[in-house]
Amino acid sequence: MKKIINITKGLLVTAILSASLISCSEDAMDKVNKDLNHTTNIQAKFILSGVLTSTAFNIVGGDYSTYTSTYVEHEVGTDNQLYRAEHRQNEPSAASTFNNVWGSSYTALRNSRIMIDKCSVGGAQEGSLITKGMAEVMAAYNSAIIADMYGDAPWSEAALVNADGSPKFMNPKVDSQKDIYIGVMKYLDDAITDLQSTTAKDGGASGVTSYDLMYGGNKALWLKFAYGLKARYTMRLIARSADKPGDYAKVLDYVSKSFVSAAEQASFNKYDASNLNPLYDFYSSRLGLAASKSMAEKLIERNDPRLRREFISGKYVQITGVADAAYLMAENGLNEEKKEFYNASIFVNSQTAPTIFMSYHEALFLKAEALCRLNRSLEAQPVLKLAVAAAIANTEISVAASVDAPNGGITEKTSAILAAEAASYFDTNVLPLFTANPLKEVMLQKYIAFFGANGESVECYNDIRRMKALGENFVVLKNPLNATKFPLRCPYGTDDTTTNPNVKAVYGDGQYVYTVPVWWALGAR
Amino acid sequence: MRKLTFLLTCLFLVGVGLVNAQSKSISGKVLSAEDGQPIIGATVKVKGSTVGTITNVDGEFKISLQGDAKNLVVSYVGMTSADVLAQNGMTVKLQSDSKLIDEVVVTAFGISKSKKALGYSVQDVNSEKLNQGANTSLSGALQGKVSGVEIMPSSGMPGASAKITIRGSRSFTGNNTPLYVIDGMPVTSTSDVDTQNSVTGADYANRSVDIDPNDIESINILKGQAASALYGMRASNGVIVITTKSGKGAKSAKPEISFNTNLSYDVISILPALQTEFAQGSSGVYNPTGSTSWGPAIAELANDAKYGGNKTNVNTTRDGMHTGMYYVPQRANAGLDPWVKPQVYNNAKNFFNTGSVFSNSINVAQSFEKGNYSFSLGNATSKGIIPSTGMDRYNVKLAGEAKLSNKWSTGFSGNFVTSKIDKQSSANNGIVATVYPAPPSYDLAGIPSYYAGDPYKQNTYRSTSGFDGAYWAVNNNKFTEQSQRFFGNAYLKYSTKLSSNQKLDIKYQLGDDAYATNYTDLWGYGHSNKTGEVSHYVYTVNELNSLLTASYNWEINPDLSFDALLGNEIVESKTEYNYAYGQNFNFSGWNHIDNASVFQASNSYGRNRTFGNFGSLSLAYKNMLYLNATGRNDVVSSMPRNNRSFFYPSVSLGWIFTELEQLKNDVVSFGKIRVSYAEVGQAGNYYETYYTTPTFGGGFSSGTPILFPIGSVSSYTLNSKVYDPKLKPQNTKSYEIGADLTFFKGLVTLNYTYSRQNVKDQIFEVPLSGSTGSTSIVTNGGSIHTNAHEFTLGLNPIKTKDIKWSMAFNFSKIDNYVDELAPGVNSIFLGGFVEPQVRAGIGSKFPVIYGVSYLRNDAGQIVVDADGLPQAGEEKVIGTVSPDFRLGFNTELELFKFKISAVLDWKQGGQMYSGTAGLLDYYGASQRSADYRKSTGFLFEKPAVKETGLDANGKMTYATNDIKISGADAQYYFSTLNGISESMIYDNSFIKLREIAISYPVFARKGLSVNANVFARNLLLWSSIDGIDPESTQGNNNMAGAFERFSMPSTSSFGFGLNVKF
C-alpha cells in the first residue's frame, strides 16, 4: 500500500513539475501568443504610399469612375451591374453598389488622419511637417470625394482610431456636406502652411522620398496640388456662394499658384504590366462598358479629331470614324445587354495610363470658366486654347498606352493628334462655338477632356451636377431615363446602412438618389 | 456490439489484479449461451476475495483458489453475471442481458461507461453500419445515421468539404464543428483554409478527409455540452469519439487478416433541364460569341443574315454559298472547316466523365495473452466526374498494447496518412459556369478549346474575361492539395487496487498530430485572357497533447459506488504558413512559378497553448440513480492578458425508473429519465492591432490588379480587422432533458432529448460601420440560442432465425435563433457576393440569405411595373437556410444470409440561393426559358399586384397583377429577374435515398469467410429545385448549405465489394 502511494506521489510530482516547466503563467502565455508576423507601429511614409495607391486605384479610378462614367455618358454600361446602372435598375440606388469604395474612401481618410497624428505635436514623428502637409492634402481630397459622392455623410466622428487601433466612434454621426467642406478647406489651409514650413524635420529615414509615389517627396509640387484643389473646391461650392465674383477671383488666384504644366499635375503614374490601370482592370475582368453614342455625337458636332482616336471595335481595332464599317456606338439607356458587341472606348485598354487626382488641363479649365463667368471671355480664350491643347496631349498619352500596351495592345489605324493639329482644331472648330457661347464651350471642352482612362469622369459628374444647380444645361445628356432617374448622388454603403443607425436613417430605401441633389447642388443634404 | 463491449471492458478491467498464492488452480472456459462462442475478456473472480482474472482470446481462464473459497463470479458487460461452483475444466455459459440498453460507450477521455449510467444523450454508430455503403468519406458515411447532427456536404467531388454541426451553431463566424477524438487523442478535423466569401476558386477539404472509415471500429457522438464538458473549450461543439480497430477483437491467438475491396462508379446525380431548340445569340439574333442562348431557332441558323450559308454575307462572299449550313468562327479559329449544318449538342452530358472509386484495405490483428496489435493499410483512389479531378489517399496504422506486469501496461497507436486531391474551380469562375449555359447550338466538346497553333489562347463559345472555357480550364488550371500526416499516441498506465473495493488507475498519454498540407492554385497562361498566376502555400501544423489522468473507483457498498477522475491536459500547437505567389508568366507552355514576372511571398508562424485541469465525480446508487459532476479549468494563450483562465462546470443525473420494483413491467422493459446542465466556452484569437500590407482588387477584378511592393516601395495600412483588448470567452450554457425507453424487451426503443443552449458574449468579427475606416472588430457581442429536439426510434419487428428486420428513425429539429448581435449591428456577413450574401440576422434562424428583394407595397405585396415585370426592392433577408427538421431512416433486413440495408434522408424546409437555376434562365439555356419564350404570353409567376392609380387621399391603389408578358419579352423578363436575387431563392426540402446495400456471405468456414456486397449511393432524389442537388453548395465555412452558383455537382455511385477474413 505504501509503495503504491509512493509511486503515485512520484508520478504526480513529475507531472506537476513538467507542467509548471512549460507553465501557464501570464508571462509565458504572453510569449506564446506574441504576434511574430506583424508590426504594430510604422512610419508615416509607409502609410502614404498605400493612401496614394488606394486613392488612385480604388477611389478616383475605381467604382466611382466606372459608374459615373455611365451617368455622364462618357461610357455606356452594357453588361450586368453596369448595364443595370445604365438602365437605372437597382444599382444606382442600392447600398451594395458603392459599398467597396465607400469603405476604401474612409480607410484612406483614416490612414491620412493617422499620418497627421503621427506628425503632429505629441506624435511619434512630431515635426515632420512636410509629410503632415501631404497627409492633410490627402485627407482633404478623400473628405471632398466623400462629400461630393454622398452629400451629408459621417466625417467628424468617422475614420478616427484610438491608440489601440480600435475606432473612436463605432457609429459615426452624419455631418452636413457643408461642414465637411469647411473641414476640407481647413485641411488644405493647414497643408499650405505645413508644406511651406521652414522648420520641418522630415529628413533622413523619415523623409518620404520614393514613398511619395506621386511627386517623389517634392513639397513644392504638393503645394501646387493643394492650391489646385482650393481652386477646384471653391468652384464646386459656387452655387452656394454669397460672393460669386469674389470666389471667381479666388479661383483665379489659386490657379495661379497651381500647376504650370502637365508635368506638375497630380498624377499617379505607376501602372505597368502587372499593376493595372483601374479602368483596364475593370474592363478586362468584366467587359461591361461600351462606346457612348452621345459622347461620339459631341465629337462629331465639333468635327473633333479625337473621334478618330478614341474608339475601338470589339476586335480591338481603332475605329477611324463614322464611316468605319465597324462603327457601332451603344445608344445611351437604350442599348442591349451585350458584351464586346458595340464599339468600346480606346481607354478601356489603356493599361498604363495614369490616374490623375487633378490635371493641368483641369486647372486651365477652372481658370477659363472663372474668367468666362466674370465676363472676361477675351482673356478666357487663350486659356481655353491651352486647356484644349493640354487635354488632347493628355488623351494621346492614354491612346498610346492602349496601343502600346504590355498585356496586348489595340490595332492603331490613325495618326496621333499633334500640337499643330490641336491648335488648328481650336482655331477652326472650337473658336466659333466659343464665340457664340464662351462658357458653354469651356464646359463642353472640359467634359470632352475628362473622357479617358484617368478617372476624371468623377470630376465631370461633379461639374454636371453643379451646372444643373446653376440652371445651365450646356452638356446635353441623351439617356431618356434621365427624365425621371438621373442619379444625383451615390447611395451610402451597405456597411453603414446595415450597421450604423445614423446612416441607415438617412439612406431609407435609397430612392433619394434620384430626387435630392447634394447640398452644393442646392439640395437639402 | 459484443466486439465493442469487449474492447471497452478490456480497457476498463485490465486493472483487476492477479494475486499469486499457494493454492488450488482451476482452469475453465467461458462461452456465450446464445451462440456457444467463447467470450473474451470476461471477468472471473473468486467470490468473496480480491482474486480475479479475465478470459483469454479463446475464452479460457486460469485462477487460483485459496483457503475455503469455492465459488467463482463470472461477469461480462451486457451479460448476466453467473455465480458458479469452481471446478477444474469447467465451462461457464453466460446469458445475454435482455436489456439491450446496457451497452458500454466511450465518453470523454476514453472513459467507458455503461450507457445506462449516463445523464446525457450520446449516440453510437458501429463499423458495419458506417461502412455498409462503402463511402470513403467519413462525413458521407455518417449521413442519416444519427440524430441531432447536421451534415452538409458541398458536392460529390473527391475530397469535397463537408460541414458537420451538432445541435446547431454556437458561433456566427467561428468554428461550429465538433472535436474529433481518435483513440483517446483530439485531432484536427477542420480545414486550414477557409473558402471565405466562397464565390470563386476551388473548395478546400476538411482535415477529417484523412480518416479512413474502414479502420473505424465505432463512433460515438457526444452531442451535448454535458457529455463533452470535460474536454473544455475545444469541445463546446460536441465531440466525435472514434475508436479504431485495435486487435482486441481478434478472436483467436493466430493473426486475423481481413481484406476489403470496393469498386464503385460515379455519375452526375442530376442535370438541369436544358433547352435544345434555340441557338446562341440575343433577341432572336445569332451571335457566335454571346454568352446567352436567346438566338434564333437552331434550325434557322443557315438563314442568319451574317453567318447563314443560305444568305449573301461577308462569309458566303468569301467562301461561297453553303446551303443549309452556317459559319462558326470558333471552328475557323481552331483550324476546322467553319461551315457546319445546324445541330443540337448535349454539352452538359458530354462534359462529365464517369468517375470511379477504388478502395482497398487490409487489416492484420492479433491478440496475445499479454497484449494485442493491429496493423492496417488502406488506399482509396478516386477519379471525379469532372476531368482532371480526383483523390488518392493512403492510410497506414499500427496500434498495440502490452501488459508489462500486473500493474503496468503500455500501448501506442500511430497513423500515417498521405493524400492528394485534385480539384477544380467553382462558382463565379467555376468549371460548370461554362458548361451548363453552353448554347445547345455550340459543339463544346467537338471544337477545340484553343486556337489552332496556340494551345493557350482560349476558344470557346463566349468571351473568357473572368471565365475560362471548361475544356481549356481542365487542361490548364490546376488546384491541388497534398498532405502528409502523422497522428498517434503512446501511453503508460498504472493500475492498482487500493483495497478490496477501491481501485486506482493512473495513465499518462502523450500524443502528436503533425501534418503538412501543400496547396497549389494554378491559373494557366491564357486564363481570363491574361498570362496566368500561381500560388503555392503550405500549412505545417504540429499539435502536441499531453494528458495525465488518475481515476479512482470505490465500491462503497453493494448499492453505492463512487468514481472520481482528476486530470491535466496540455495542448500546444504550432502552425507555420508559407506562401509564394507568382503572376504573369513570361511565356506560355511553362506554367511554373519560376516563369512568373511578379512575385509575392509571405510567412507566418504562430503558437497556441491550452492548459487544462479537470475533475469528475460520479455516484451510482443501486443501478438506478447516476449522478455525475465535472469541472474544468482552461488557461488559453490566445486571449488577452489576465483574461485567460476559465472554469466550466457540468452536472448530470440519470434515473432508471424501471429499477423500482413497483415500476417493473413487461411493456416498458427499460426506462430512464436523464437531465443535465453544463457550461462551456470558446476562446477567441486576440492580437494587438497591427499593420499589414494593403491588398487591392475591387469587387470587379478578376485577378490581383495591384501588388505591393510597387518597384521597391512597400506600404502598410492599419489592418481592417481590429481586436478588442477586453475580449473574454464566449459562454454556452446548456441543459438537456431526455428519456430512453425500451419496450417489449427490445422490440421498440425510443430515445428523446430536448436541449436548450444559450450562447452569450459570442466572439466574432463584429462588422464595423465602413465610415470608421475599419471593417471589423473581434469582440464579444451577441447571443444565439438553440432549441433541439432529437428522437431516435428503433424497431425490431421481425427477429427470427432466418429473417431479421430492424429499422431506425433519427429525427432532429434544431432551431437556432440569433437573439442579438453587437449593438447597432443587425446582420453580419458570412459569405457570398456584394449581393446576395449569407448572413446572420437578428430574430432570424441562423443563417439567412440577404439580398435584393422584390419591390413590395406597404401591404407586403410584390408590385409589378406597367409591363408586368417585377421590380427590385430593398436589400433584406430573402431566405432562411435552416430546415424545419431532418429525418434519417435506416433499415436492415436479413433474409437468410442476405443482408439488405438502406438509408433514406429527408430534409424539410429551409431555403437556398440557387444562382445556377436563375442564371440558366437568364442565359436562355434552361428549358423553362425556352417554354416561356414560345408561349404567347405569361404572367410573372409569384402572386403580385399592379398599380392602378391614386385614391382620393393620394395613396396608391393596387389590383391583382394580370399584365401578361409576351413570349418575345422573355429575355428581358429573365434579365429583370436576374437583378432581383429573391427570384433565385428556392425551397430546399428534399428526400434522398443515400445508401442501399446488399451483402451476402459467399463463403463462411472456420478460418475463412468471404462476404460480397453491392451498393449504391445517392440513388434517388426528390427536391423542389429542378435539376440541382440541393447538397451541392458553396463554402466550407458557416455559409455551407445556403448558396449555390455553378457549384461542383453531386454524384450517384454504384459499386460492389468483397470482404475476406481469414
| Rounded distance between C-alpha atoms, residue B212 and residue B360, angstroms | 11
A77 touches chain B (CB under 8 A): no
Which of A94, A159, A278 shows the shortest C-beta gap to B772?
A159
The reply to whether residue B691 touches residue A32, judged by beta carbons under 8 angstroms, is no
CA pair distance B627, A44, nearest whole angstrom: 63
Q: What share of chain B is helix, strand, coil (3-state, %, to 5)?
A: 10, 50, 35
Q: List pLDDT tens digits, range B226-245.
A: 888 888 888 889 999 999 98
Point out the residue among A1, A407, A509 whose CB comes nearest to the CB of B874. Answer: A509
B714 near A CB under 8 A: yes
> In 10 A of CB B588, how many CB atoms?
17
pLDDT at B101 over 50: no
**Would you state the pLDDT for residue B98?**
47
Contact criterion met (CB < 8 Å) for A50 and B826: no
Please check the confidence at residue B934 and state whether its pLDDT lies above 90: yes
Distance from CA of B770 to the nearest CA of A (A): 5
pLDDT average, residue stretch B926-952: 95
Angle ∠(A95,A101,A105) on CA atoms, nearest 5: 120
Contact between chains at A102 and B770 (C-beta distance less than 8 A): yes
Q: Is B360 on the interface with A (CB under 8 A)?
A: no
* Nearest CA among A69, A487, A81 for reference residue B872: A81
**CB-CB contact of A248 with A370 (8 Å):** yes
Strand partners, B187: B180
**Contact (CB, 8 A) for B158 and B421:** yes
Q: Does A274 touch chain B (CB under 8 A)?
A: yes
CB proximity A196 to B under 8 Å: no
Nearest-CA distance A67 → chain B (Å): 12
Which residue among A37, A46, A276 places its CB closest to the CB of B715?
A46
Q: Decide if B282 and A33 are in contact by the 8 Å CB cutoff.
A: no
Query: Touching check for B1007 and chain A: CB below 8 Å?
Result: no
Given a cut of 70, is residue B17 above it in pLDDT? Answer: no
Contact assessment for residue B415 and residue B429, using Cβ atoms and an 8 Å cutoff: no
Of all residues in chain A, the one with the smallest CA distance to B584 is A274
How many Cβ atoms from other residues are within 10 Å of residue B505's Cβ? Answer: 20
Average pLDDT over residues B208-212: 92
B250-259, B348-357, B533-542, range with the lowest pLDDT: B250-259
Residue B4 has pLDDT above 50, yes or no: no
Across the interface, do B570 and A22 touch by the CB < 8 Å criterion?
yes
Q: Give yes or no for a contact between B641 and B657, defined as CB atoms under 8 angstroms apart.
A: no
- Ranges B103-107, B1001-1005, B1031-1035: which has the least confidence: B103-107
In DSSP notation, B651-687 reads: EEEEEEGGGSGGG--SSEEEEEEEEEEEEEEE-----
Question: Contact A54/B694, CB-based, under 8 Å?
Answer: yes
Å between A413 CA and nearest CA of chain B: 22
Taking an 8 Å cut-off on Cβ atoms, the answer to whether B508 and A172 are in contact is: no
- Give, for A429, the enclosing helix (H) or strand (E): none
Beta carbons of B743 and B666 less than 8 angstroms apart: no
Q: Is the dihedral of CA A173, A174, A178, A183 positive or negative?
A: positive
Per-residue pLDDT at B663 exceeds 90: no
List B residues 37-66 in contact with A (Cβ-Cβ < 8 A): none
ipTM of the complex: 0.92
Query: CB B117: neighbour CB atoms within 10 A?
Result: 24
Using the Cβ of B466 and the Cβ atoms of chain A, whether some distance falls under 8 Å is answered with yes
Alpha-carbon distance A422 to nearest alpha carbon in chain B (angstroms) = 34
What digits encode the pLDDT tens for the residues B877-910?
Answer: 999 999 999 999 999 999 998 999 999 999 999 9
Q: Are B718 and A165 within 8 A, CB to CB?
A: yes
pLDDT above 70 for B2:
no
- Could you report the per-residue pLDDT of B382-423, keeping only the tens digit for each? 999 999 999 999 999 999 999 999 999 999 999 999 999 999
Judged by CB atoms closer than 8 Å, whether chains meet at A95 and B875 is answered as: yes
**pLDDT band of B6, cuts 50, 70, 90:** very low
- Percent of chain B beyond pLDDT 70? 96
| Band of residue B94 on the pLDDT scale cut at 50, 70, 90 | confident
Give yes or no for residue B684 having a pLDDT over 50.
yes
Question: Residue B231: in which H helix or E strand, if any?
Answer: none
Query: Which residues does chain A have with pLDDT short of 50?
Result: none
Phi, psi of B1041 (to 5 degrees): 90, 0
User: What is the identity of the amino acid at A417?
Assistant: I
- Minimum mean pLDDT range among B98-102, B209-213, B424-428: B98-102
Rounded to the nearest integer, the mean pLDDT of chain B is 90
Q: Supply the pLDDT for residue A12.
A: 60
CB atoms near residue B305 (< 10 Å): 10
Helix B915-922 to helix B970-978 angle (10° resolution) is: 150
**Any A CB within 8 A of B691 CB:** yes
Is A24's Cβ below 8 Å from some Cβ in B? yes
At residue B746, the pLDDT reads 87
C-beta atoms of A340 and B710 within 8 A: no
- Mean pLDDT, residues B186-202: 89
In chain A, residues with a C-beta closer than 8 Å to the C-beta of B706 are: 53, 57, 275-276
Cβ B646 vs Cβ B729: under 8 Å = yes
**Residue A210 CB: number of other CB atoms within 10 A?**
14
Say which of B638, B690, B710 has its CB closest to residue A53. Answer: B710
Residue B177 confidence class, pLDDT cut points 50, 70, 90: very high
Q: In 3-state terms, what secondary structure has residue B499?
A: strand
Would you call B835 and A501 a contact, using CB atoms and an 8 Å cutoff?
no
* A18 vs B contacts (CB less than 8 Å): 546
pLDDT at B105: 77
pTM of the model: 0.84
Q: Is B770 close to A106, i.e. CB distance below 8 A? A: yes
pLDDT in tens, A264-323: 999 999 999 889 999 999 999 999 999 999 999 999 999 999 999 999 998 899 999 999
d(CA B1043, CA B1027): 16
Of residues A179 and B370, more confidence is placed in A179
- Report the gap between the CA of A174 and the closest CA in chain B (Å): 10
Amino acid at B809: F
The answer to whether B329 contacts chain A (CB < 8 Å) is no
pLDDT of B219 above 90:
yes
Sign of the CA dihedral with A385 first, then A388, A394, and A397 last: negative
- Contact residues, B window 621-650, toward A, CB-based 8 Å cutoff: 635-639, 641-642, 644
Q: What is the pLDDT of residues B250-260, one digit of tens each?
A: 666 688 899 99
Total Cβ atoms within 10 A of residue A385: 20
Q: B261 pLDDT exceeds 90?
A: yes
A301 interfaces chain B, CB cutoff of 8 Å: no
Q: Do B498 and A8 touch (CB under 8 A)?
A: no
Tens-digit pLDDT profile for residues B287-304: 999 999 999 999 999 999
Residues near B193 by beta carbon (within 8 Å), at least 6 away in sequence: B204, B519, B537, B539
Chain B touched by A116 (CB under 8 Å): no
pLDDT in tens, B598-617: 899 999 999 999 999 999 99
- pLDDT at position B791 is 94
What b/e readout covers A223-244, taking b as 16+ CB neighbours within 10 angstroms?
Answer: bbbbbbbbbbbbbbbbbeeeee
B498 at interface of A, judged by CB pairs closer than 8 A: yes
Phi/psi zone of residue B642: left (φ > 0), alpha (ψ -120 to 50 degrees), beta?
Answer: left
Q: Which residues pair with B780 in a beta bridge?
A: B763
H or E stretch covering A272: none
Separation of alpha carbons A8 and A1, rounded Å = 11
Chain A nearest-CA residue for B699: A100
With a cut of 50, say whether residue B5 has pLDDT above it.
no
User: φ and ψ at B1049, to 5 degrees?
Assistant: -75, 165
Residue B106's pLDDT band (cuts 50, 70, 90): confident
In this prediction, residue A10 carries a pLDDT of 63
Residue of B282, B292, B454, B771 to mutate when probing chain A, most A C-beta within 10 A: B771
C-alpha distances (whole Å) from A135 to each of A190, A259, B605 are 10, 19, 34
* Partners of B497 in beta bridges: B503
CB contact under 8 A, A276 and B706: yes
- CA A474-A475-A478 angle, to 5 degrees, is 130
Task: Write the pLDDT tens digit of every residue in B135-175.
Answer: 999 999 999 999 999 999 999 899 999 999 999 999 888 88
CB proximity A37 to B under 8 Å:
yes
Range 653-672 of B in CB contact (< 8 A) with A: none
